[in-house]
Amino acid sequence: MTRKQKVALAITDFLLVWFSLFLSVGLRLDFDFELMARFLDNQLWFAAVSAVSVVIFYLFGLYDRVWRYAGIRELIELVIAVTVSLLPFQFLAVLSGGFVFPRTGPILTWLIVIPLVGGARLALRLASERSTRALHRVRVLIVGANDGGESVLRDLSRADSGHQVVGFVDETGKVAATSIRGVPILGALSELPGLVSQNEIEELVLAQLTPGQTSEVVRLTEGLDLRLKIIPAATELVAGHVQVSRLRELRIEDLLERDTIPLEPERIASYLEGKRVLVTGAGGSIGAEICRQVLAFKPATVVLLGRGENSIHELLVELSGQPVQSSICDVRNQAGMRAVFERIKPEVVFHAAAHKHVPLMEQDVAEAISNNVFGTLTVMELCKEFQTGKFILLSSDKAVNPTSVMGATKRLCELLLAKNPGPGFAAVRFGNVLGSRGSVIPTFRSQIESGGPVTVTDPEMS
């Protein structure tokens, strides 16, 4: 609140306490003005009690609160402040034998002041919310009448979200209900273009749709002037992290029409919950996504390790408020990696640090071997020395009958793992990760944005 608002609220409190004192005397004496006159003539006491109350409220910080976001905690603080401000008055009334003020007067005053002072603050909150609603709010249609859609609705319904949810679209055509939390289900997916136009929709939020349904939404809205947002991964939804700030733009991988392989959350949680997890190469697209997924299973901490400070910093900012810490280190640096292991004593290690660009590694063979092979060997030996429970090497499908330097280095890493197995050591071969940095989709996008042509591996290929 501004200084003027604080002064206005303090004056309001002063008058409300004064009025409560008058009302309590009237209630105690059945509004017999002849009996009330003896107490009402001494207005100095009323002014003193009112002034003391305002001072106590100030000391309790009631004029520093943002009442727009007030809740139970603020209500409790208000009750305590009112109680403290009236206690001396109660003692005085009792000790004077009711001469200064009726002995039960302060108790009645307490019962009156709390709803009046609390009501004044509630009025502030309602006025603030009304003014917020008067501002432009983005008109949103949620595509998905399901648990994910309901979760998005709860968050977008906050007064400060800047959004107005107009309705839902039933993605299955089978929902029997006509509304969710009072917001209507306007129609089926096939009716989407008309619903967008009729309701002046500015933004669509896609909630837990299949890839096929997502592709259908993109097709139906092609050419329409609106933004498409999608809720995060299902694991984040399970963890209760769906927030306006986490809604993201639609990505190319969301359109991959392939059946999703269901996860086994209970089994995964048994590996990760409460564990200290180290992810090498966390600044890369694959390493970063592993960090996001791992955090959904409540680890004790996730250490983001990489040698690029900018990418690690960006990931730290994204994951702020979650149990993460960072370490800037090259996996080939044996002393540095040993210090990391001594500091955190990881129980699970995901080794994603590697050079993965096939054409570049054909030119820099020594660097590929040094980073991919010897870096892996360093991490693997430290895992054995520190008795790390799980070590997962992120390999590649290019390790199968390798025809490139990158593929050969990954195959060497797999052989090292096979020759020096540890308990819980494993390798996972990734295929082409759609949308990862340096992969075909970002390359095609860049070529299209620059006016083409679109090339595959070699510009001379036809």
Hey, what domains does the chain have and what are their CATH numbers? 3-133 (no CATH), 138-255 (3.40.50.720), 265-431 (3.40.50.720)
Known catalytic membership, residue 398: yes
The pLDDT tens digits along the chain (462 residues) read 577 878 888 898 899 888 887 787 777 776 776 666 666 666 777 788 888 888 998 888 888 776 666 667 878 888 898 889 888 877 777 776 655 567 777 788 888 888 888 888 888 777 766 665 555 678 899 998 888 888 888 878 765 667 888 999 988 877 666 888 889 999 888 889 999 988 889 988 888 788 788 888 888 888 888 888 887 654 444 444 444 445 555 555 555 556 666 678 888 888 899 999 999 999 998 899 899 999 989 999 999 999 989 999 999 998 988 999 999 999 999 999 999 999 999 999 999 999 988 889 999 999 999 999 999 999 999 999 999 989 999 998 888 999 899 999 999 999 999 887 777 899 998 866 555 555 555 665 565 556 556 566 555 544
Per-residue b or e along 303-338, where b marks 16 or more CB atoms closer than 10 Å to that residue's CB: bbbbbeeebbeebbeebeebebebbebbbbebebbe
- Dihedral pair phi/psi, residue 71, rounded to 5°: -145, -155
The reported pLDDT for the residue numbered 149 is: 84
- Dihedral pair phi/psi, residue 121, rounded to 5°: -75, -35
The reported pLDDT for the residue numbered 236 is: 45
Contact 142, 207 (CB under 8 A): yes
Q: Which residues pair with 169 in a beta bridge?
A: 143, 187
Which is catalytic among the residues 229, 275, 356, 398? 398
Q: Is 25 exposed, middle or buried (0-12, 13-18, 19+ CB in 10 A)?
A: buried
In the chain, what is the greatest distance between 2 CA atoms, to the nearest angstrom? 107
Give the Cα separation of 173 and 189 in Å (integer). Answer: 8
The reported pLDDT for the residue numbered 207 is: 84
**How many residues are given for the chain?**
462
